[in-house]
A and B are shown apart, each in its own frame.
Chain A
Amino acid sequence: MNQEQQLKLQAFLDGELPEREAREILAWTQRDGEAASLLAELKGTRQAMAKAELRLSVPTTREFFWSKIEREIQRLEPQATIAPDVSFSAALRRFLLPASALAALVIAGLVVHFHATPVAPVDTAGNDTPAVETTLASADATTYRDTSAGTTLVWFSDDTPAKAVKPTAIN
């Protein structure tokens, strides 16, 4: 008997064959003693194992077994298993404190930056690119400086749109 036949015999026993093939195997086992013996052995093993699994119990106490599970669940999902003990106002305070500290830092940083930055970059390279500057101290003054032409223009603007530009030339 070859391996394929052996496996077919087993598949027949387990009800895994289509009806036509199952009929063929049944006929084969009825005329072949070797096939019939092997089928009987496989069937005997299967029947012996049916509902013969050893009944086992966890070899630890309920509390010990559960404690590890509980710890791990609480570690993985603390929000889901432990009710938060904080009120809305406490949570808001907890959020606002770092947020306001951060905002103060940003404002301070901006103030320092604008006071420390030179108002007009010096054209040390001597190139021909004109520079346009706006100072923070007088936000309504715009300076146009062209080093190649030796010309500086300053615009003073007020809040009235109609009088927006008053160019003055300084040589």
Chain B
Amino acid sequence: MSGKNYSSADDEALVNAARHGELEAFEELVFRHRDPIYARAFSMTRNEDDAVDLSQEAWIKGWQRLGQFQGESSFTTWMTRIVINLCLDHLRRQKRHRTDSIEELDDEGGGVERQMPVVTVNPTAGLERAELRKKIDEALDQLSAEHRTVLVLHEFEDLEYKEIAKTVGCSMGTVMSRLFYARRKMAGLLAEMRKES
């Protein structure tokens, strides 16, 4: 494939060319899909610099593992799995290096959210899509990394409990309780935001 055709080639053709060592084909893939891969890294780490670094690292790993890409899922989905795993490793390293606060330990237990009163009025009713996205993003920022990860994997990546447990490396019970507390906290945060505005 000549370099001039890269921009008009489909992902499959670009992947095949990249497998044969054509770096320009891979550059085109990076150009096409770098935003969603970066967005996933950011949604998990909540840090712009870390998200850039981790998404770049994911692309390097992607290049090295191109031979393993079977085409069973889309190329973006495959790359997203790579960046998710890198983000999980990054979060684990961060957790090892920090002293968990009492608040975080409470969060892990989820006791507070379990006792929260049910939000009966839909806090997102009538919001424009862009406004809703912004509010959800703000609320995600306030969740612990553990709860946010499970929520992101379930709601944005559409993974089932079993798949999340395998990806995160915990039991299905832990996934279920983290997801429950994350959702409840999210509902509470969105309700608070609505009151404030």
CB <8 Å contact, A46 and B155: yes
CB <8 Å contact, A54 and B136: yes
A53 (CB) vs chain B CBs: closest residue: B156
Chain A binding site: helix, strand, loop or mixed by DSSP? helix
Bound together, the chains give a CA A40 to CA B35 distance in angstroms of 34
Bound together, the chains give a CA A11 to CA B21 distance in angstroms of 46
B151 (CB) vs chain A CBs: closest residue: A49
CB <8 Å contact, B187 and A45: yes
A56 (CB) vs chain B CBs: closest residue: B39
Quick check: which of A61-69, A118-126, A142-150 contacts chain B, the rest being far away? A61-69
CB <8 Å contact, A45 and B183: yes
Chain B binding site: helix, strand, loop or mixed by DSSP? helix
CB <8 Å contact, B183 and A52: no
Chain B 28-48 interface 0/1 with A at a Cβ cutoff of 8 Å (1 = within)? 001100110011001100001
The answer, yes or no, to whether B167 is at the interface (CB within 8 Å) is no
Bound together, the chains give a CA A54 to CA B151 distance in angstroms of 14
A-side contacts of B122, CB under 8 Å: 44, 48
Among residues 61 to 82 in chain A, which have CB atoms less than 8 Å away from a CB atom of chain B?
62, 65-66, 68-70, 72-73, 76-77, 80-81
Interface size class of B (residues with CB under 8 A): 35 or more
The answer, yes or no, to whether A103 is at the interface (CB within 8 Å) is no
22 cross-chain CB contacts under 8 A: A42-B180, A42-B183, A44-B124, A49-B136, A49-B186, A52-B132, A54-B134, A55-B35, A55-B133, A56-B39, A58-B38, A58-B55, A59-B52, A62-B31, A65-B30, A65-B34, A65-B52, A69-B30, A69-B59, A72-B56, A72-B60, A76-B64
Task: For the complex of A and B, list the 8 residue pairs with the smallest distance between their C-beta atoms, beginning with the closest.
Answer: A56-B39, A49-B155, A48-B124, A54-B137, A37-B118, A58-B38, A45-B183, A45-B187
With A62-B34, A66-B30 already in contact, 7 other A-B pairs whose C-beta atoms are closer than 8 Å: A16-B161, A34-B118, A40-B118, A45-B187, A46-B183, A54-B43, A73-B60
